[in-house]
Amino acid sequence: MNIDSRVRDGIRVVQLGGRMDGFGAKEAAAALPATDDPAKLVVDGSEMSYLSSAGVRVLLGWQKAAAAAGGAFALCGLQPFCRSVLEMSGLAGMIPVFDTVDEAVEELRVHSAGGNVGETVNTDAGTFEFHPVSGGGGTIDILGDIAYVLDCVVTEDLVADKPFFETEYSLGLGALGARPQDYLPVMGEAIMLAGTMVWLPTDGNDTPDYMIPRKASTDVVLRTAFNASLRGGFNEFAVFRAKEGKPASIRDIYRAVFDLAPRRRHDYRGVLGLVMRAEIHEAFGAGIVKSPLLENQPANGLPITDPSNFPEWFESDRSPRHAGTTALVCGVGADLTADLSGIDGDRLERMFYVNPANLGSQSEVLHNHAVFFTGAPPPVGGCDMDAEMRRVVEGGEFADMRHLLDQTTVVSALIAVSYVQEVREDRNV
């Protein structure tokens, strides 16, 4: 392939021209070894005519190397075919993609100019130290509909097979299993993050099923009736600390980021995707306890969240489930006080419902799932979310998985923020 490497404003820009196939990927990898100071790297794909899995792996290697070096990696100018391959690979959530070289260079130059020195903002919830990483368009890809769950109408036809990707951040309702009779009766709360899939089967045992596919992970599918995935890369990382002796609720944290968002992003549209490694003060969780199949529909015809049905359908904490744990959280939120007209309203409604357990004013709707660990190693600091999460997964003791109630309180957290520009249909099925 034609490989043209130059440095612009201190950022290496590599144009890869031609076919990034098994052959071209080898050439590209040799021309720019992952160890060759790739801290800030832009790959210009405007002349790339083809991209295969071998090419995707080289791009992923560069992305990982940049992240490990505390830098940033971005793609730009991808032609539609190469973009669709990237999306098919599940990496669209991990690597920011810009339209032009200028945008990519500008974002990496401006937002990583200060290295690890972040901007500190004090809020009612606590202190946020922001580290912008990219200006990529945050996206939520949605499958199915929360209404299938709430109206209790799930049938085999409404269940999609969602592949599991190592880079996936998503939440939803689903199950693992080979045949419909295996997975339909046990569908429950599910979350994917840090190379891990956890779900809470509705089999009466109240015990989450925990899986870390280490290889060939695209062969693992979640059977899901509703799923929301964060894609497009994170826009910033924030190191959050609650005020001394005053832990902040999940709702407080979202509210603070909502309130700061219009100043931080001119293109803010009222919707956030947040991924956190949070040190929990007190955890309040909830979980559906019966699979929301049409055949299980309540006799009174009301949604399963209706107060008349809620106690039978949900187990929901009134007192803290546990304290002092570490939670890995994936969530989405919409600010009801913001102008939401820039986001497709129908698709937005497919992600949220008002949980009766989340009483209080509804100035925002949130939907978060969490995996809890005990004995996790403390955060090392810095903004490598993937590394922090893996340290928790590998060094901590897996404790629990739940739908996370908004009143859960947090002492400190590393938060990855996606300022969502678009809610799309998930085509990665």
DSSP string, 228-282: EEEES--SEEEEEEEBTTBPEEHHHHHHHHHHHHHHH-TT--SEEEEEEEEEEEE
DSSP H helical ranges for 158-219:
180-183
Closer CB to another protein, residue 6 or residue 427?
A: 427
CB atoms within 10 A of CB 110: 12
Smallest distance from another protein to CB 93, Å: 13
Q: Are 398 and 322 contacting, i.e. CB atoms less than 8 angstroms apart?
A: no
- Residue placing its CB nearer to another protein in the complex, 47 or 106: 47
Cβ-based nearer residue to another protein, 243 or 390: 390
Least distance to another protein, CB of residue 52, Å = 5
Six-digit token pair at 375? 């004995």
Is the CB of 81 or the CB of 359 nearer to another protein?
A: 81
Cβ atoms of residues 317 and 287 within 8 Å? no
Q: Minimum CB separation from another protein for residue 51, in Å?
A: 9
State residue 45 phi and psi, 5-degree precision. Answer: -100, 15
* Greatest alpha-carbon span in the chain: 67
CA-CA-CA-CA torsion sign (153, 331, 243, 282): positive
Amino acid letter, residue 191: I
Structure-token match 């997964």, residue found: 393
Rounded Cα–Cα distance for residues 32 and 30 (Å) = 5
CB nearer to another protein: pick between 86 and 101: 86
Identify whether the C-beta of residue 319 lies closer than 8 Å to the C-beta of residue 221: no
Instruction: Name which of 61 and 270 has its Cβ closer to another protein.
Output: 61
Contact 326, 217 (CB under 8 A): no
> Could you tell me the smallest distance in angstroms from the CB atom of residue 174 to another protein?
18
- Please report, as ranges, the residues that interact with another protein according to CB under 8 A: 19, 21-23, 26, 50, 52-54, 56-57, 60, 81, 85, 88-91, 163, 165-167, 195, 212-220, 390, 394
Q: Give the shortest CB-57-to-another protein separation in angstroms.
A: 6
The CB-of-393 to another protein minimum distance in angstroms stands at 8
- The CB-side HSE value for 214 (13 A sphere, CA atoms) comes to 2
Nearest approach, Cβ of 125 to another protein (angstroms)? 32
In the numeric block, which tokens belong to residue 286? 């909830």
Minimal distance, residue 158 CB to another protein, in Å: 21
Indicate the residue among 219 and 244 with the shorter CB distance to another protein: 219
Pick 46 or 52: Cβ nearer another protein: 52
Is the CB of 178 or the CB of 299 nearer to another protein?
178
Shortest approach of another protein to residue 25 CB, angstroms? 10
Tokens (6 digits) for 240: 């959050």
Neighbours of 178 (CB within 10 A): 9
Q: How far apart are CB 73 and another protein at their closest, in Å?
A: 16
Smallest distance from another protein to CB 216, Å: 4
Residue 378 CB burial class (10 angstroms; 0-12, 13-18, ≥19): exposed
Q: Tell me, what amino acid is at 116?
A: N
- Residue 65 to residue 72: CA distance in whole angstroms: 9
- 11 versus 221: smaller Cβ distance to another protein: 221
If residue 26 lies in a helix (H) or strand (E), which one and from where to where? helix 22-31
C-alpha separations of 185 from 15, 289, 403 in Å: 51, 11, 19
Q: What is the chain's length?
A: 429
Closer CB to another protein, 229 or 305, in the complex:
229
